Chain A
Amino acid sequence: MHRPGKKNLLALGDKFRIYILFVLVFAFMSLFAPRFFNVFNLTSLLKSISMNASVAIGFTIVMICGQLDLSIGTVITFAGVLVLGLQPSLGFTAAAVVAVIAGGLVGWLNGLLVTKGKINSFIVTLGTMTILQGAIYQFSGGNSISVSTPEAFVVSDFLGKSLIPLVTPRILISLILVAIMEFVLRRTRAGRNFYIVGGNRSTAWLAGIHTDRYTIVAFVLSSVGAAIGGVFSVLESTSATLKLGENSLMYVISATIIGGTAMSGGKGGVLRSVIAILTLEMLYTGIILFGLGNEVKIFIAGLILAYVVLYEAYATWKHEKSLGQRPELMKELAERAALAARPASAE
């Protein structure tokens, strides 16, 4: 029995799952959460996702390539600490550039170790994560760094002041980055190649794509995205705590998977991840607005990640179980067996 209409609708629903989820959560929070639907809260919502949004861009590309980058959280903090630590001697612009380049170098190293060293990506990034953790504490002496010079406040005011309602320069930067990367991934040949590399590495190689080069670029993009997120977040708040990127890994992994990027690679999109981050952030803001406290928020964030990983694993498991199965054939065989058994039982 084929019911193409229903099937198409379901497929469509699955395809736009994240957008539907976004609308639902937004509607729910606007209706029920106190003090949710106003310009101030929505602006602060966008502000609070602008760091993780730029982190999610690169992370999604790494995941499309079929790899994983566990070091993003520490890259965020590293870049944040670096920019405030170097700012007195270099000035803001140069310090920010150095911090982003340093982030890019970390990504380059990750990529090199994964492709040339042929080590599993999460093992490599676990190592760089530990090294960076040490570097952060070494550089900052274990304390948060903050600046209170007039220039710092000028920069902070500029980044945090609304240009038009809901949009501050920092949010705009993240939006532009998302738009550019979404365009590159969808419309350019280089962008499409990331999907081929992640979907089937050997096919990509046979088709003449430099798989190693694309993987390295993906890791560089991931770290640069994380560094940009860290730098602008720190510049706006004028202080870099050592816990800046602590929860980002958890948020970004869950958002990327909810957004429909497959952990096995070859599938997904930047915009979807960012919408998922926005959805999650609305949920967390809602939890706080309902007065449930930070502990509940962290607990639920962990639970969501666990659920998402579990769901993805379950879906893959079910899919693999159904591979090669032919229900019609099994039914026919069962019928035949029943027919064969009937005379035997009659006797």
Chain B
Amino acid sequence: MSDALDKRSLDSNSVGKIVNAAGSYGIALLLLALGALLQFTGVIHSFLSVQNMLNIVDTVALVGIVAVGMSFVTYSGHFADMSVPTTMGFTGYVCIELLRYGFIPAIIGALVVGLLIGLLNGFVVGKLRANPIIWTLAVNYVTMGVIRLIWVNKQIYPDMRGSGQEAVALFDNIYRFRFFNLIGLPVVILIILVIAGQFVMTKTTFGVKVKLTGSAFRAAKFSGINVERVIMAAFVLTAFTATISGLAVTSLSRVGAWYNGAGYDFKAVTAIVIGGMTLAGGRGSILGVLGGSLIIGILNNVMTLLGVGTFSQDMVRGAIFIAVVGVSAKSLRSLGRDDA
């Protein structure tokens, strides 16, 4: 009897999750329809072309990869990792600098640097309970300082450090390689990460621990969960995905520059929030976050085709971010599910 009840409550939960996740996909579909409508009425052109759809998917991949990792930080109730932009920039620099020793060592070097930043964040926020936003912001400034100190404001190019042709070609292909000449490598990475992330978040003990840490920190701590390690893992995951995305962005622009990751922190948080994950922690899903990334990607694309400038897009994104956070907090409160 109790088993059946448990099962039913679990079922209704997963149905709720699907509805929540479908919510963001519904909006994404609406945006697609809007784009199509605008094209049929002749306001914008080439929205429905294969090339444009590929463009959307490619940009979604870059944001989505970061968002998947960062959603673990948000899920654990630690809002966001503001050190993502310079983590992306720094790992790009490191990779290009190490290309002369071959492609694989360069990738490993970049990953190691990224993971070290993640470990540092995780230690200070998890163990010492520093304010996650302020601390990661500070790490962002420090990493920026390190970049400026080492490379003195210079940008570096993959082919100028005496690296082998082969390594450079491989590096260029991180972003440019396409399966069946269609689906880019970042997109495939994103899909793998989403599946893995969704699995980890819902089907493993670790995922449940993150959820409990996010929804009731003290309860999690006193029930014997090693919250410090959970939080550390969340930040390391963020740094890992930020590194991957940073390598893809660096490969795309073919230049190591400190501004390579600029804005990705905010884009990722917005994707997470639109995807139905609450900033209070413990609610949401990776599938929803993917939907949120799609919404951002399509919205950006439509706005660009409409001739809206990059800076106005920033304003729109910021306004949507605040609106979504406000509405979701309000609706949770009125449902009595959140006392925040």
Contacts and interface: CB of A to CB of B under 8 A. Distances in A.
Interface of A: 68, 70, 113, 117-120, 122-124, 126-131, 133-138, 142, 249-250, 253, 263, 295-296, 298-303, 305-306, 309-310, 312-314, 316-317, 320
Contacts of A135: 311, 315
A244 to B, nearest CB: 16
Contacts of B144: 298, 302
A156 B276 CA distance: 51
B129 interface: yes
A127 B322 contact: yes
A128 to B, nearest CB: 7
Contacts of B313: 134
Nearest to B320: A127
Given A68-B134, A142-B311, A118 B340 contact: yes
Given A299-B146, A302-B144, A309-B131, A120 B315 contact: no
Interface in B130-180: 130-131, 133-135, 137-139, 141-146, 148-149, 152-153
Given A126-B266, A295-B153, A316-B129, A302 B314 contact: no
A133 B314 contact: yes
8 contacts: A118-B340, A119-B329, A126-B321, A131-B318, A137-B311, A137-B314, A299-B149, A305-B138
Nearest to B128: A313
Contacts of B333: 118
B304 to A, nearest CB: 14
A243 to B, nearest CB: 12
B124 to A, nearest CB: 6
B26 interface: no
Contacts of A131: 314-315, 318-319, 322
B330 interface: yes
Contacts of A303: 142, 145
Contacts of B318: 127-131, 133-134
Given A133-B318, A305-B142, 6 more contacts: A68-B134, A118-B330, A122-B133, A126-B269, A295-B152, A305-B141
Interface of B: 79, 124, 127-131, 133-135, 137-139, 141-146, 148-149, 152-153, 266, 269, 279, 309-319, 321-322, 325-326, 329-330, 333, 340
Interface of A is mostly: helix
A135 B124 CA distance: 35
B315 A301 contact: no
Contacts of B145: 295, 298-303
A320 B217 CA distance: 15
A151 B160 CA distance: 50
B311 A119 contact: no
Nearest to B141: A302
A202 to B, nearest CB: 13
Which 3 pairs, one residue from A and one from B, show the smallest C-beta to C-beta distance? A299-B145, A134-B314, A302-B141
Contact of A302 (B127, B142, B309, B317): B142
A305 to B, nearest CB: 4
Nearest to A253: B134
A132 to B, nearest CB: 8
Given A117-B329, A295-B153, A316-B129, A134 B315 contact: yes
Contacts of A296: 149
B321 A130 contact: yes
Contacts of B139: 306
A253 B312 CA distance: 28
Contacts of A142: 311
B131 A263 contact: yes
A119 B325 contact: yes
Given A127-B325, A299-B148, A310 B266 contact: no
Contact of B321 (A122, A127, A317): A127
Contacts of A320: 129
B130 A310 contact: yes
A313 B133 contact: no
B325 A313 contact: no
A288 to B, nearest CB: 15
A117, A128, A253, A317 interface centre (most CB from chain B within 10 Å): A117
B334 to A, nearest CB: 11
B79 A120 contact: yes
Contacts of A136: 311
A36 to B, nearest CB: 23
B314 A130 contact: yes
B130 A117 contact: no
A118 B326 CA distance: 8
B322 to A, nearest CB: 4
Given A124-B322, A314-B128, A309 B135 contact: yes
A61 B269 CA distance: 28
A298 B325 CA distance: 33
Contacts of A129: 318
A137 B262 CA distance: 15
A302 B309 CA distance: 32
Contacts of B127: 317
A70 to B, nearest CB: 8
A116 B135 CA distance: 27
Contact of B124 (A117, A122, A137, A313): A313
A122 B135 CA distance: 13
